[in-house]
Amino acid sequence: MSTSVVAGRPALARPAWLDWLRHRPIWLALAGLLALAIVAAAGVVFGSVAIAPGDTLAILGHRLLGLPVTQTWPASAETIVVELRLPRVLMALAVGGALSLAGVALQGLLRNPLADPYVLGTASGAALGAAIALLIPVQFALLGFGLIHVLAFAGALGAVAVVYRVSRLGGLSSLSSVLLTGYAIGSLLAAGLAITMYLSGQNLRQIFFYLLGSFSLASWPQVAVGLPIIVLGSAVLLTRARSLNALLLGEETAAHLGLDVRRERLVLLAAASLVTAAAVAMAGLIGFVGLVVPHVVRLVAGPNARALLPLSAIWGAAFLAMADLLARIPGELPVGVITGVIGAPFFLLVLRRYRGGYEL
């Protein structure tokens, strides 16, 4: 264990308003909700097809509130707003919030700034599951979900379960062994993915979809099945603030602060894996959200999980909905490309600006 004293370096002067904000996270939350509302509205109004905002509003009023509005728009506009954009925005919000929460939980549990929702093999498990689904010549669709979604979900959960078993996380093994196990299992699954991809010929494109993420196929049935899982897991994570705070100084200190460390490990891991698996099954692997959002929020609002959890959920939701909007303006770019393109430089900027003293 390394003690790191950043000696000699002068304490960085933070702008006064940032300090002010750090003590008043409620303003960050309100600003986040405002951003979320704006992005969500923009996500419904804008798209690759131009529909007048007035028409959009009238369609929403007509379809959601039952207002007696005379239909002046083409039927296709109604389909686009109600059947395509609304579920898409909802799903992007849910997945963004859930991945950010999972990132907070896993970074806190594993005490590793590099941890993200995919760190324990979820990503390669889901990708392998999706790839295998493409090799199975049975088409199956239930409530907007195909075999690919089901196997991606199962693959993600299966990978975590294997990591959990192999590393004996249920026991008292050290956390670095968990990370290494996750890495090893992930590599193994990636090799399996490579073989599967090699065998799958032209179907590769759909694996490509899974590796970069997209909300282009979001639909109400998917929202109806996926959203409850995500909301449930997220709700559990939101109640774990106390545990994550206790874990800030390590598991032993957490135990001395009265935490049932073994149980909390299981709860945090299960909830984070559940929402990640659901997110991956619906939208593929969307990188950077679960890594960057928690860090940026932590740098502004501090590590207190009581603020960090809800703020990450709000800002993560807004960020991903915005990334999805940017992804569909030029056509259909994978949303993971956008989150990477925006997320990585922004993250570097923030790290540079505030030199948070991260030890990697």
Footprint on residues 119-158 left by another protein (CB under 8 A) = 119, 121-124, 127, 134, 137-139, 141, 144, 146, 148
Contact segment (CB under 8 A) with another protein among 78-86, 273-281, 310-318, 341-349 equals 78-86
Comparing CB distances to another protein, the nearer of 102 and 207 is 207
Joined tokens for residue 222: 């998917």
Least distance to another protein from the beta carbon of 317, Å?
21
Q: Is 360 exposed, middle or buried (0-12, 13-18, 19+ CB in 10 A)?
A: exposed
Q: Closest distance between another protein and the C-beta of residue 262, in Å?
A: 5
Could you give the CA distance from residue 82 to residue 62 in angstroms, rounded to a whole number?
10
Would you count residue 13 as binding another protein (CB under 8 A)?
no
- Alpha-carbon distance of 282 to 277, in angstroms, equals 9
Residue 49 found at the interface with another protein (CB under 8 A): yes
Distance CA 46, CA 35 (A): 16
199 touching another protein, by CB under 8 A: yes
Interaction of residue 251 with another protein, rule CB under 8 A: yes
The single residue listed with the structure tokens 């959601």 is: 64
**Is residue 164 within 8 Å of residue 170, measured between CB atoms?**
yes
Q: Which of 77, 87, 79 is nearest to 40 (CA)?
A: 87
Which residues are 141's β-sheet partners? 146
Question: Which residue among 183, 342, 344, 346 contacts another protein (CB under 8 A)?
Answer: 183
Residues 318 to 337: which contact another protein by CB under 8 A?
Answer: 328, 331-334
| Chain residues 85-124 in contact with another protein, contact rule CB under 8 A | 85, 107-108, 111-113, 118-119, 121-124
CA-to-CA distance for 175 and 271, rounded, in angstroms? 18
Instruction: Name the minimum Å distance from CB 339 to another protein.
Output: 11
- Nearer to another protein by C-beta: 35 or 351? 351
Tell me if 202 contacts another protein by CB under 8 A. yes
Binding span for another protein by CB under 8 A among 26-34, 229-237, 246-254, 316-324:
246-254
Q: CB count, 10 Å around CB of 351?
A: 14
Closer of 70 and 139 to another protein (Cβ): 139
Nearer to another protein, 206 or 347 (CB): 206
Q: Which residues of 143-156 are buried (b: 16+ CB within 10 A; e: fewer)?
A: ebbbbbbbbbbbbb
d(CA 222, CA 86): 12
Question: Least distance to another protein from the beta carbon of 101, Å?
Answer: 16
Q: Nearer Cβ to another protein, position 27 or 140? A: 140
DSSP assignment of 212-246? H---TT--HHHHHHHHHHHHHHHHHHHTTHHHHHH
Beta carbon of residue 217, minimum distance to another protein (angstroms, whole number): 5
> What is the C-alpha separation between 351 and 307, in angstroms, rounded?
20
Nearer to another protein, 19 or 34 (CB): 19
Member of 31, 219, 225, 231 binding another protein (CB under 8 A): 219
Q: Which of 21, 160, 179, 197 binds another protein (CB under 8 A)?
A: 197
Instruction: Measure the CA–CA gap between 342 and 319, rounded to whole angstroms.
Output: 10
Among 15, 30, 187, 353, binds another protein (CB under 8 A): 187
Q: What minimum distance in Å lies between the beta carbon of 233 and another protein?
A: 17
